[in-house]
Amino acid sequence: MTLQVSVGKRLKFFDLEVSFTCEDKDMLVMIGPSGGGKTTIVRMIAGLETPDEGRIVYGDEVWFDASRRINLPPRKRKVGYVFQDYTLFPHLSLYRNAAFAAVDKRDVDGLLTLFGIDHLRDRKPDKVSGGERQRCAICQALARRPRVMLLDEPFSALDVVTRRSLREELRAMKSGLSFPVVYVTHDIQEALFLADEILPIVEGKVDRDWMRRTITREPAPGTAPRAVREPRLSLVY
Amino acid sequence: MEWQAFYVTLKLAATATAVLMVVAAPIACVLAYARFPGKSLVEALLYLPMALPPTVLGFYFIMVLGPRGIAGRPWETLTGQPLLFTFTGIALASVLYSVPFAIQPMKAAFRKIDRRLLESASVLGLSPAAAFVRVVLPNSIGGIIAAAVLVFLHTIGAFGVLIMVGGSIPGVTKVASIAIYEAVEAMDYRAAHLMSLCFLPISYVFLLIANKLGEES
């Protein structure tokens, strides 16, 4: 099935207007400078933000349609959402976090083992490392057997080594997933490593040329060239 | 020394605390998260019992709960019992008298919860009511216990409101604070002394609990 998104919203500094599709088993990576609207788009898919106009459809189920006044609440969309920073429930152990919305509790043990955190199952989130928390957040989202998976810079708060190994784990398990995955990052390396399709978002619009301009450091049309050429950290590692 | 008055005090404080925990939690939740026109007006109204002199409050309770009041008359037709000078009456008055002390700590605790946890809960399929029970309550235990302690202590200390609404019927509405006052009036300083002394450890232990919880959260 296909996730079809075509939305518009007036934001503070620009108008957001994007439209794209993502097939089952595909990983669509949204990339672009921070503050460009990537997170807003993902939040619209999850139902946490309401677009001013447009449609969001998964398969033949309409999640949002401005003209027909349809707006399915987040809890009915059945998406898996891994946030940028840790949103595990602080009062629950890792196991109970992962099992929080599990369709079948038997999935949970397998997921914890797959992500290598089974030995920490009884610890609370504040007693494990950042990488282990994000692993648990992914388990929590997967145990819900989501129809669409949304990952919003899930590894950006982690150190380089952990980030790299989690990125590799994610790519390895990608082939086993049967649903569309939308992944947000501002890291070009990560995008190239993971994506089936890359969707650059700049100031609320799809800007297909952004990747090339960024890599060659060509200034965007209509902007002044940079006075100082600072090193691109994202290209170093 | 009137043990009976202590029994009434503790029964009253326990009743008011239990009732307020259930009633105030949803109100505090709405005040913490919802936005609606006139919210600050509603909030100020709910906190009014804290700002009014207890005798003013007691006077209005007599007007409302009395046999011709808007609450007293239907209650009497329904149950055949009056509200004034009964335990139910002083319990009702104590609940209203302590509303601000229940709502404020709970609201503060609810507000401290990261909004993203609630978003996460809704994405994970929880209805707002389920999220309240499974996410909000367990993460604001400190605030809820603080509210309970404050309500309990505030009810133990009530005097003006209770003497106006309940009078001083031994075993029914005569609470320890009234018993102490009456003992002093009767110049029975020994009894007053003993009863007053009983309050010290109770209040001290409860405050210790409240402070401990405040530090932890």
A234 or A214: which leads in pLDDT = A214
The number of domains in chain A is 2
What's the number of CA atoms in the CB half-sphere (13 Å) around residue A179? 18
* Virtual torsion, Cα B128, B130, B136, B141, nearest 10 deg: 150
Residue A153 within any structural domain of the chain: no
Query: B87-112 and B54-65 helices cross at what angle (nearest 10)?
Result: 120
**pLDDT of A181-218, one tens digit each?**
999 998 888 999 999 999 999 999 998 888 888 888 77
Looking at residue B217, what is its pLDDT? 60
A101 and B124 within 8 Å at the Cβ level: the answer is: yes
Range of the domain at A208: 1-78+158-237
Chain A residues touching B114 at Cβ < 8 A: 87
Distance CA A78, CA A142 (A): 11
Mutation site for B-interface testing, chosen from A71, A89, A139 by largest number of B Cβ within 10 Å: A89
pLDDT of amino acid A157: 80
* Mean per-residue pLDDT pooled into runs of 10, chain B (217 residues): 88 97 94 92 94 94 92 92 93 96 94 92 94 94 91 94 93 94 94 92 88 73
- Region A96-115 average pLDDT: 93
Reply yes or no on whether the pLDDT at A235 is more than 60.
no
Residues A218 and A110 placed together within one structural domain of the fold:
no
Shortest alpha-carbon distance between residue B178 and chain A (Å): 43
Is A234 in the same domain as A179? yes
What are residue A29's phi and psi, to 5 degrees? -105, 120
Asked if A75 and B138 come within 8 Å (Cβ–Cβ), the reply is no
Predicted confidence at residue A234, as pLDDT, reads 53
pLDDT of the residue at A233: 55
Beta bridge partner(s), residue A132? none
What DSSP designation does A28 have? E
Q: For residues A169 and A40, what is the distance between their CA atoms, to the nearest angstrom?
A: 26
Sequence-ordered alpha helix ranges (H) in chain A: 38-46, 74-77, 94-98, 106-114, 130-143, 160-174, 188-194, 210-216, 233-236
- Could you tell me which residues of chain B have a Cβ less than 8 Å from any Cβ in chain A? 114, 116-117, 119-120, 122-127, 135, 138-139
Query: Minimal Cα–Cα distance from B1 to chain A, Å?
Result: 46
pLDDT of residue A84: 82
A50 belongs to a structural domain: yes
Q: What is the DSSP string of A130-146?
A: HHHHHHHHHHHHHHT--
What is the tally of structural domains in chain B? 1
How many beta-carbon contacts under 8 Å exist across A and B? 44
- The predicted model scores a pTM of 0.81
pLDDT at A38 over 90: yes
Residue A95 resides in a domain: yes
Q: Is the model's pLDDT at A230 over the cut of 70?
A: no
Q: Which of A93, A112, A146 is the last residue of a domain?
A: A146
Give the best residue of B116, B124, B134, B144 to mutate against chain A (max A CB count within 10 A).
Answer: B124
**Percent share of chain A, pLDDT over 70:** 92
Cβ of B139 within 8 Å of Cβ of A74? The answer is: no
Interchain contact, A144 vs B124, CB within 8 Å: yes
**Looking at the predicted structure, is the pLDDT value of residue A225 above 70?**
no
Domain assignment of residue B96, given as a range: 3-216
Show Cβ contacts of residue A16 under 8 Å, excluding neighbours closer than 6 positions. Answer: A7, A8, A9, A10, A37, A40, A41, A204, A205
Which domain-ending residue is among A125, A146, A167?
A146
One domain, residues A171 and A200 = yes
Asked if residue A236 has pLDDT above 60, the reply is no
Q: What is the pLDDT of residue A44?
A: 96
Does residue A222 surpass a pLDDT of 70?
A: no
Name which of A47, A77, A87 is nearest B120 (Cβ-Cβ): A87
Q: How far is B118 from chain A (nearest CA, A)?
A: 9
Round to whole Å and give the CA distance between A183 and A198. Answer: 9
- Does A75 sit within 8 Å of B122, measured CB to CB? yes
Per-residue pLDDT averaged across A91-105, rounded? 95
pLDDT over 80 at A121, yes or no: yes
Instruction: Considering only the beta carbons, identify the residue of A79, A90, A91 that sits closest to B123.
Output: A79
Given this model, what pLDDT does residue B136 score? Answer: 94
pLDDT tens per residue across span A139-174: 999 999 999 999 999 988 888 888 888 899 888 888
pLDDT at A127: 94
